[in-house]
Amino acid sequence: MSQHQALRLHVPEPSGRPGCATDFSYLHVSAAGEMRRPPVDTPHFDTRDLSYGLIRVLDHDGRAVGPWAPQLDTPVLRKGLRTMMKTRIFDARMVIAQRQKKISFYMQCLGEEAIAIAHALALEPGDMCFPTYRQQGLLLGRDDVTMVELMNQLMSNAADAMKGRQLPVMYSFKRAGFFSISGNLATQFIQAVGWAMASAIKGDTRIASGWIGDGSTAEADFHTALTFAHVYRAPVVLNVVNNQWAISSFQAIAGGESTTFAAKGVGCGIASLRVDGNDFLAVYAASQWAAERARMNLGPTLIEWVTYRAGAHSTSDDPSKYRPADDWERFPLGDPIVRLKTHLIGLGAWSEQEHEQVQKELEAEVAAAQKEAERHGTMLDGPFASAATMFDDVYETMPAHLRAQRQQLGV
C-alpha cells in the first residue's frame, strides 16, 4: 500500500436542488458602481479585476451609478423596455403555440432579455452577429424584421424563408446582421472570429459579435476561437451568456466554479469583463466599450453576462426535475424588465399606468402578428411543404445517391 491518500476527483454540484433553496453566494455580486471603467485601450492584464468582479450600473433603487453609467437618451431606454416586454410576450405566446402543436419546438429567453436587446444598441448596420437560439432580442428590437417573419419560421409554414429546413428558432437574417443559427453549439464563436478576421483582411470597418452559453464553453471551439481572436487581434466581441444552466447541467460543470468565464479570456490574452446581464444599462455600457475597442483595432473583448435562465431550457425540458422551482425569484440580480422599469419611473419617464397600457398594446400586437402568420399555415394543420423541397438548394448538381432517394420517395 502507498503511504499517500487515495486520489479523488472533484465533481461540482449546484448549491440548490428541487426542495432545497439555492445558495446564490457563489455568484460574488459586486455593488452597483463599484467596478472601475478603464480606457478602451487598456491591455488585457489590466482587466483582471473586471473579469472576477461584476460590473453593475443600476442600484437597488433603480438609480444609475458609477463610472459605467452610460449616456443613453430616455427615448432609447423607453424603446429598450418596450422591446424587452415585447420579447417576453412573444416568447410566452410561442410556448403556448408549441403546446397547441402549431409549432414543433420553442426556446424562450425569459429573464435574459436585457442582454441581446441592450447589446444590439452598441452595434452598427453591417456588423454581424453569430447568435445562439436565445438572442431573439437582437431581432425583436429591429424595425426591418417583423414578428410575422419570425413566426413563419417557427411554424415552418408556406411563408417560412427557411422552407422548414431549420429547427424552429434557428433564424437567419443576413440583412439584419443575424447569421444563420446552427444547432451545433460553439461553432458560432469560431465563425464570428473568422468573419471578423475576414473583415479586417478586406480592410472593412464592420465588426462581429459572437455568442455562446456557459455550458458550450466546454467545447473545443470556444478555446480555438479565443486563440485566433487573441493572436490576430480580431475585431470581435465574444459574448458568453452565463445563465447558470446548460439544460440540467449546472454552470460549474462547464468550469465556472472556482474561476469565472470572463477570467478565461484574460488567461488567453483578451480584455475581459464580467457584467450583470440583467442590468440594461450595464449591458449597453460594456457592449459599447467592447465594440469601440474592436472598431479601433484594439482587438477582441470577452464579456461574461451573468444572468439566469428563468424558463425551461426548451419546450422539451422540465427544470422542476433538477432545480428549485422558485430559483429565479431568489436570483440576486432580479428581473431585467422590473429593473429598467424602476429606473425609468425614477427618471419620471414611465409609470405603472403606462406599463399596463404598453403591456396590453404589445399583447394585441403579438396576437395580431400570430393571426397573420397562421394564415400561411401551422404545424397543426398545414399546408405542408412537399418532401421534395428537402432535396432542393443544397447542391448545384444533385449527386446520384440523392436523386435515387428522391425517386424512392416518389416526389
Ligand X SMILES: Cc1ncc(C[n+]2csc(CCOP(=O)(O)OP(=O)(O)O)c2C)c(N)n1
Residue 314 touching Mg ion (CB under 5 A): no
By CB under 5 A, is residue 213 in contact with Mg ion? yes
The answer to the question of residue 243 lying near Mg ion (CB under 5 A) is yes
Q: Whose CA is closest to 262, among 219, 302, 221? A: 302
Yes or no: say if 207 and 195 are a contact pair by the CB < 8 Å rule: no
> By CB under 6 A, what part of segment 305-334 binds ligand X?
309, 313
- DSSP category for residue 341: H
Helix (H, G, I), strand (E, B) or coil at 10: coil
Taking the C-alpha atoms of residue 260 and residue 27, their distance in angstroms, rounded to an integer, is 9
The Cα 96–Cα 260 span in angstroms is 36
Using the minimum distance from each CB to ligand X, give the nearer residue, 65 or 218: 218
When binding is defined by CB under 6 A, the residue of 243, 307, 315, 378 that contacts ligand X is: 243
CB 247 within 8 A of CB 321: no
Separation between Cα atoms, residue 317 and residue 257, nearest integer Å: 24
Helices (H) and strands (E) in the chain, counts: 13, 7
Q: Which is nearer to Mg ion, 87 or 152 (CB)?
A: 87
Closer Cβ to ligand X, 230 or 313, answer by number: 313
Interacting partner of 183 out of ligand X, Mg ion, none (Cβ under 5 to 8 A depending on kind): ligand X
- One residue of 196, 246, 303, 379 binding Mg ion per CB under 5 A: 246
Answer for the pair 234, 228: CB distance below 8 angstroms, yes or no.
yes
Give the span between the Cα atoms of 195 and 174, in whole angstroms: 13
- DSSP string covering 153-168: HHTT-TT-TTTT-S-T
For ligand X, the nearest residue by Cβ is: 213
Name residues contacting ligand X, limited to 80-139 (CB under 6 A).
134
What letter would DSSP give residue 178?
A: B
What is the number of alpha carbons within 13 Å of residue 226 lying toward its C-beta? 24
Choose the contact partner of 247 out of Mg ion, ligand X, none; CB within 5 to 8 A by kind.
Answer: ligand X
* Residue in 149, 214, 276, 327 binding Mg ion, rule: CB under 5 A: 214
Task: Pick the stretch among 30-38, 69-77, 113-121, 242-250 that binds ligand X (CB under 6 A).
Answer: 242-250
The correct pick among 84, 121, 185, 266 for binding ligand X (CB under 6 A) is 185
Question: Between residues 187 and 272, which has the closer beta carbon with respect to ligand X?
Answer: 187
Question: Nearer Cβ to Mg ion, position 121 or 186?
Answer: 186
Judged by CB under 6 A, the stretch of 15-23, 240-248, 336-344, 403-411 that binds ligand X is: 240-248
Count of residues in the chain: 411
Q: How far is the CB of 250 from ligand X (least distance, A)?
A: 10
Q: How far is the CB of 302 from Mg ion (least distance, A)?
A: 16
How many chain residues touch ligand X (CB under 6 A)?
Answer: 16
Query: What is the pairing mode between strands 271-276 and 301-306?
Result: parallel
List CB contacts of 200: < 8 A, sequence separation 6 or more: 232, 234, 235, 297
Q: Exposed, middle or buried, 393 (CB in 10 Å: 0-12/13-18/19+)?
A: exposed
Contact between 219 and Mg ion (CB under 5 A)? no
Strand partners, 171: none
DSSP 181: P
Q: Where are the alpha helices (DSSP H) in 121-164?
A: 137-140, 147-154
CB of 182 vs ligand X, minimal distance in Å: 9
Using the contact rule CB under 6 A, the part of the chain among 147-155, 157-165, 182-190, 202-210 near ligand X is 182-190
Q: Which three cell numbers stand for residue 50?
A: 473586471
The entry of Mg ion, ligand X, none that residue 216 binds, CB within 5 to 8 Å by partner kind: ligand X
Instruction: Give alpha helix (H) positions in 100-156.
Output: 113-120, 137-140, 147-154
Site string for ligand X, 209-228 (x = CB under 6 A): ----xxxx--x---------
CA distance 161 to 35: 45
Check residue 304 for interaction with ligand X (CB under 6 A).
no
Instruction: Choose the stretch contacting ligand X; rule: CB under 6 A; options: 62-70, 73-81, 168-176, 183-191.
Output: 183-191
Total residues contacting Mg ion by CB under 5 A comes to: 5
313 binds, among Mg ion, ligand X, none (CB under 5 to 8 A by kind): ligand X
* Binder of ligand X out of 246, 262, 286, 306 (CB under 6 A): 246
Name the residues that contact ligand X, by CB under 6 A: 134, 183-185, 213-216, 219, 241, 243, 245-247, 309, 313
Name the residues that contact Mg ion, by CB under 5 A: 213-215, 243, 246
